[in-house]
Amino acid sequence: MQPFLLIGLSLLALWLVKQYVAWRRIISSVYNYPGLRVIFGPESFVFPFRIPYLAMGGMSLWTHKHKDFDTYNADIISSVNFWPTPKCTHFLADAEAIKEITSARHRFPKPLQQYKVLTFYGSNIVVTEADEWKRHRKISAPSFSERNNRLVWDESVRVVEELCHDVWSGKDVIELDNIVDLTVPVGHLISSHSDDFSEVLHAKMALFIIGVAGFGRRMSWKEEGTIPSGRSMTFKDALHIVSGNLALKVVFPTWLLKIAPFKIARKFNAAYIDLEQYMIQMVQERKIAEKKEERYDLFSSLLDANDVESDGTAKLSNSEVIGNIFVFLIAGHETTAHTLAYTFILLALYQDEQETLYQHIKNVIPDGHVASYEDMGKLSYCLAVFYETLRLFPPVNGIPKSSGEDTTLRTRNMAGESISVPCPAGTYLTIHTPALHYNPRYWEDPYAFKPARFMGDWPRDAFLPFSGGLRSCLGRRFSETEAVAILAYMIARFRVDVKDEPQFAKETFEQRKERLLKSMSAITLYPVRAPLVFKRR
């Protein structure tokens, strides 16, 4: 036994020496550029929070915001991790350097291995690069048209009208215990027939809109639905469960989801399979239809564009069509739904800002009228409130890139002096969205909720909730349209307050703000618990 133990310890010692040599070599390659030196890097699921020298912590991008950059006196800092493979990651909060990176796709490509988790149903525009990405974009981009945006607006209004007139009929005060129950990534599934307002406002509102504008499937608040032969649930329920629990697919392999003893895992796996079958059926029905109805949902538009051969460009395969529409689902449901939740929380906390928004809406839309898509340009303060929420709570905290060649980035210290940042080929780069959005160099009083900052000139290069450059989010206008339509309708008819709870009666405003805006991250950033009250005006 002793010889085997000795051999094992010797092999471990050799491995540690090899790792240490590689770790030191990487530090030397960037000339020991200032930053964090840790065992586990930010992508580690084991340590979500910062532990000095042990783990940077994935959540630290959100919790520390610009503090690390203040500590190291520069708007670009490094992190060199020891395990599992030593590597250097530069984190960027410098708008000029970020613009250089997002504008030069060939010099700073995506590290595609980090995006493999998004190939859920097939290859798509997010997980491709170079010519392959151009092919996906050429076919996908026309789907995000003005006609689709109008559809988004009309469906957003229809959904909130049905909510207010049918679901809340006869109710002047609607209380919710938690607006974001569905966003908790693991351990919670809400019944599709629940009347709980947290599901109604946050989950179903965004879900119904992406259902129509994304998939061409209209769903109702009171719809029961029938389950087709060979399926275990309706399309609505499959879409609901998969979109609300995507983190399960990221964390657990498929084989484990199939045999897991937890009901949520098995339910998610069944929903995942059913949703794929629904989408395959939709593709097939659309392709064999003798007369194709003119429709402007993303799914139909993508299929129509895919039917057209132009310039010799190869069409997308069925799995690529499904892969793209599923990525659009993630963007269209997760990000907008969570941001709307934050928006209502902020408006409940800052009543003066809510009143400013209410008066703005009244000035644009006469009492009793419903805003149309043509009114969107006039509802500038609605968009400003949405933007300020995105600035304070960016859905994605880190946007990964890499250096395709040996180069040097430029940044500045807090005194404004220029600094050279060595960036050898293979260096990982992360656009640190919270640090950029809370950088006092670009944003005055960055921790304050001030929507008016977006009503005049503002630093567009320092605002990246939708990423930047050619690879910025195709669905940006989709998200903005949905948000403005919902905010204009809801705030015109309801005042939003924080729900009073006896156990928090003595808390200060800052304590209440911290409690309601406490956040975690799964696919996107989300608030943990926020009890609100909606009072009919």
| 39 contact partners, CB below 8 Å, separation of at least 6 | 53, 54, 55, 81, 82, 83
Structure tokens at 462: 């320092």
- Closest listed residue to residue 91, CA positions, set 34, 49, 52: 34
Looking up tokens 């009901």, which residue turns up? 263
Using alpha carbons, list the distances in angstroms from residue 505 to 484, 512, 518: 33, 10, 18
- The answer to whether residues 532 and 344 touch, using CB atoms and an 8 Å cutoff, is yes
Contact 207, 175 (CB under 8 A): no
Q: Would you say 273 and 241 are in contact if contact means Cβ atoms under 8 Å apart?
A: no
* Separation CA 347–CA 340 (nearest Å): 11
- Measured from the Cβ of residue 285, the count of other Cβ atoms closer than 10 Å reads 9
Instruction: Classify the C-alpha dihedral 387-520-330-464 as positive or negative.
Output: positive
Q: What are phi and psi of 494, to 5 degrees?
A: -135, 140
Question: Is 164 one of the annotated binding-site residues?
Answer: no
CA distance 334 to 345: 17
Residue numbers in the known binding site are 473
Q: Which residues are annotated as a binding site for heme?
A: 473
